Structure 1
């Protein structure tokens, strides 16, 4: 089990990858630009054989990053939590763990149990639930934009190697 969830999909496209990437480019705002209001679905980079995008919404949109590699009518999509949110959660967990160590040193086992339960709830309720909702929204919008025929979820972590 990993601390931060991720999903990997094998996909089949309706069109060729070059047309699909052109369609995606039309709906993607470059992440190098600073625009207050936009009418695009995604923010990120689209190049000749792949892309790295996130939803174009304030904070919930940047939670999940979608990395895709396309060839002909097939492709691989990887969805994971952005580095900024991983860093924020890591700092929060470090503060909580320092409280756990202090409570164990002072022999306050009831407080230590509460802290352990907080860490478990943080991981399985907040992170997992938010990731599932956000990744589902991202995949629905991506499916409509680039025309995905078939999704096949996989559990392999090293699909690029």
Structure 2
């Protein structure tokens, strides 16, 4: 594995973790104080706190449809982000084919989630969320990085004696 790919993965995962922590901070601050104004709230239709506190900001808006709103599975999407980027960083340390496959599969899931949430952002909420869009970019970049990594690992294993 080229060292630049390792650095790219670390930078993307750390950036994703920072975005997730900030999103969680904004959501919790807004819930505690409805007058809280986040740095990413730039206007009426450019408001991340509006997005994070919407029904789609928890459990992708799907948990509430399937089970009760008070269900323990109905957690902020940012917690899922924290878990995802932590797993991405941890599995990125392994050179196994299984780890590479898990990275790719989880990245495809994150990209599907990003596309779903982008649709909700634009067509349902009519909002622009700088933090959300930044997260989508990180997820797409991680997918690209993971696909390259998987190809490289499979190539290494085939050449090994």
- Band of TM-score, shorter chain: 0.3 to 0.5
Superposition TM-score, scaled by structure 1 size: 0.36
The structure with the greater share of residues assigned to helix is 2
Superposition TM-score, scaled by structure 2 size: 0.36
The structure with the greater share of residues assigned to strand is 1
Q: Say which one has the larger Rg.
A: 1
